[in-house]
Amino acid sequence: MTTQFKKPSPGITPETKPFWDAAKRNEFMLVKCVGCGFYRNPVSITANICPECGSRKPGEWVKASGKGRVHTYTAVHRTFDPSFEKELPYIIVIVELEEGPRFLSNMRDAKPEDMKLDMPLEVVFEKVSDEVTVPYFKPAK
């Protein structure tokens, strides 16, 4: 039986498909430059050019730690989409990953008053449909 995701689906492209395939396996992946070792946010790789060294060689997909810290966040109290209303208020966070890049996500297991800059976080995965598993972040234990 196929489950339906009731919220807007992430935009899965050929470039980001390895990231979403890994998420289905509960693995958090980043793209690493084969020239200089710079890590990139996988959902922002529309051009295969390393922003650090300018290499045009395809990066390699590597398993990341799934750990990071709060760079910034906001609490959403009114939503643009009715499918999010039951989660209000929810927290959108920019995570500074241990490997370097920043990653936009939603928080789990936290209230707005719990949030602090530089707070340690860890990835959690939620299967939202048969096709999509979404990485979220929660306070690290």
User: Looking at the domain that runs over 17-139, which CATH code has it been given?
Assistant: 2.40.50.840
Low-confidence winner among 8-17, 61-70, 88-97 (lowest mean pLDDT): 8-17
Q: Where are the domains of the chain?
A: 17-139
pLDDT higher than 90, residue 104: yes
pLDDT of 59: 87
- The DSSP secondary structure of 13-67, one letter per residue, reads -TTTHHHHHHHHTT--EEEE-TTT--EE-GGG-SS---TTT---SPPEEEE---E
pLDDT higher than 70, residue 26: yes
What does the alpha-carbon distance between residue 139 and residue 52 come to, in Å, rounded to a whole number? 30
Percent of the chain whose predicted confidence (pLDDT) is above 90: 66
pLDDT higher than 60, residue 2: no
Task: Render pLDDT for 51-77 as a digit per residue (tens, 0 to 9).
Answer: 899 988 888 999 999 999 999 999 999
pLDDT averaged over the chain?
90
Percent of the chain whose predicted confidence (pLDDT) is above 70: 94
Burial of 42 (0-12, 13-18, 19+ CB in 10 A): buried
Is the pTM higher than 0.85?
A: yes
Low-confidence winner among 13-17, 37-41, 105-109 (lowest mean pLDDT): 13-17
